[in-house]
Amino acid sequence: MELSPLQTARYTYEPKLPPVLKSSISAIQLSLGEPTESIADQAALKAQFSKTYGKPIATFVSGRNAEPSKDLRVGVILSGGQAPGGHNVITGLYDGLKKINPKSTLYGFLGGPSGLIDNQAVEFDDSFIDRFRNTGGFDIIGSGRTKIETDEQFLSVLKTAQERKLNAVVVIGGDDSNTNAALLAEYFVAEGTDIQVIGVPKTIDGDLKNEYIETSFGFDTACKTYSELIGNICRDANSAKKYWHFIKLMGRSASHIALECALQTRPNVALISEEVEANKQSLGSIVDSIAEVVKKRSSKGENFGIVLVPEGLIEFIPEMKVLISELNDLLAHHTDDFAVLKGFQAQYEFVHGKLSSSSAQAFSSLPQGIRAQLMADRDPHGNVQVSLIDTEKLLIQMVGEKLAAERASGTFNGKFSGLAHFFGYEGRCAFPSNFDADYCYSLGYTACLLINSGLTGYISSVRNMARPSSEWVAGGIPLTMMMNREKRHGKDKPVIRKALVELDGAPFKELVKNRDQWATQTSYRYPGAIQYYGPSEVCDQPTITLALEQKA
């Protein structure tokens, strides 16, 4: 394989670490805090996680390491959607294990959790690992969305771990995968084994965060990649002055990506799903508000603009939320009956007949394409696959129809020509920014220290991330601390709570402060491409979201 100059250069990039991790292993001491509680449903979770609930927060500090340098055998999986930096978690984990004891072994299980279930793995060595340092993608071992759920699956994972004599399993994943990690940690202890489980917070969506997990890895690079593309489109729009670009951005439920990209590029409209829900905005009123901005700009002769649409928007529009929840329950309870139905019409009639009258009405008001997308397969965690729903096209169609009606009645005489874009997969495997390369390597390295300290049911954490890496703090957060119970597949389940955009948070307030001006005056900002080499203020900046959140 011929390497690009950037790939060659990135192989030799040395990730920056929190200061404590630069010490020799014998000088890294574990400090434990007070017992913790889950964020809600404490009694139920305490009962369900009777072996692993309520552990203290772990922090690594300079001192004397009481643990011997164990010869560890560890397995790692990548779980869920790709996120830039995954390879560096594995290289950090590998380097840390070898530093603890050169005899340690790291296995990479193939294709996500199913690799653990089926015991399909590779053993890493230096030359294997070196080919993936500071690169994007998850192709080192692949990923998957299988959920370890049934008794047989848990037993198979236990068998795999025992056959390979593993001390620990590291799960690199989002909220659902880390929930799975918590269940696995509990299961291993309940089965009388000392196999440990450590999670690592991954997802471009940015929704796996809290006071201790300041950001999930991949969010930084993905947002910077999309912001570059959006900035380029802004400039094209302002040059050609003839199109309204509707850009849907990945992020599943949460609008963190849309918000960060809005702060980076200053579009004319940035919809934030969490605000739509809080204001109980209907689809019709969202369309009206976009049409208003189009009209205002048109009255100044500016028949162009940029609208950012978060991927999960449809789930937050009140009438659609009820509809989707009814559809989720209905499809979960009638899986077999639904599966045998042939063609859209038969499926639509089956579903329509079982919905409440208000949801049936909302469902039938949507174009056929969107109705089909809403009935499509759920992911293994029971979620609607929002990346497959063309919300940006729906909005262009509805805004276009509204403005056409206004033109007919003489209240609008401008032009509206909409173009749809969807940015998601473009950003998930980019070369990790320096921030993500540094953060991920540190997360992997920290994970192996947590293992060496004998901890289980923790997620690797690096804190104080808005500051330079010389001020970063490494440790572990008990997974049960981030959990509550929610309905999945029609049943109450323990899950790590998704962090949605907070409407009283500093990033959203920054948008609110500026958006009226950005709506009418063309104020685009052009972030340009991610820079890997050069001055720190160009190459090492965190996202605006993280900087604002940590300043607050």
Q: Does 205 bind ligand FBP (CB under 6 A)?
A: yes
Pairwise CA distance, residues 397 & 435, whole Å: 39
Q: Does 251 bind ligand FBP (CB under 6 A)?
A: yes
Of 305 and 494, the one with the shorter C-beta distance to ligand FBP is 494
For residues 294-313, which are near ligand FBP according to CB under 6 A?
311
Give me the 159-188 binding string for ligand FBP, x by CB under 6 A, dash otherwise: ---------------x--------------
Terminal alpha carbon distance of the chain = 47
Task: Quote the distance between the C-alpha of residue 449 and its chain's center.
Answer: 25
Query: Dihedral of CA 159/481/209/60: which sign?
Result: negative
Least distance in angstroms from the C-beta of 133 to ligand FBP: 22
| Residue 173 DSSP SS3 | strand
Q: Does 252 bind ligand FBP (CB under 6 A)?
A: yes
For residues 226-245, which are near ligand FBP according to CB under 6 A?
none
| Residue 254 DSSP SS3 | coil
Tally the residues of the chain: 552
Q: Does 95 bind ligand FBP (CB under 6 A)?
A: no
Least distance in angstroms from the C-beta of 387 to ligand FBP: 4
- Helix-, strand-, coil-residue percentages of the chain, each rounded to 5: 45, 15, 35
Least distance in angstroms from the C-beta of 243 to ligand FBP: 26
Of 81 and 231, the one with the shorter C-beta distance to ligand FBP is 81
Closest among 220, 210, 383 to 312, alpha carbons compared: 383
Q: Half-sphere exposure of residue 76, counting CA atoms within 13 Å on the CB side?
A: 31
Q: Does 204 bind ligand FBP (CB under 6 A)?
A: yes
Residue 271: how many other CB atoms lie within 10 Å: 24
Among 18, 75, 80, 476, binds ligand FBP (CB under 6 A): 80
| Residue 462 DSSP SS3 | strand
Q: Half-sphere exposure of residue 135, counting CA atoms within 13 Å on the CB side?
A: 17
CA angle 192, 198, 200 (to 5 degrees): 160
Give me the 361-400 binding string for ligand FBP, x by CB under 6 A, dash otherwise: -------------------------xx-------------
Pairwise CA distance, residues 405 & 417, whole Å: 15
Catalytic residue numbers read 205
| Phi/psi of residue 82, nearest 5 degrees | -65, 150
Least distance in angstroms from the C-beta of 428 to ligand FBP: 6
- Of 78-86, 265-273, 435-443, 500-508: span binding ligand FBP (CB under 6 A): 78-86
Least distance in angstroms from the C-beta of 55 to ligand FBP: 25
Of 143 and 298, the one with the shorter C-beta distance to ligand FBP is 143
Q: Does 83 bind ligand FBP (CB under 6 A)?
A: yes
Of 320 and 403, the one with the shorter C-beta distance to ligand FBP is 320
Tokens of 365: 């008001």
Residues of this chain that interact with ligand FBP (CB under 6 A) are: 80-81, 83, 174, 203-205, 250-252, 311, 386-387, 428
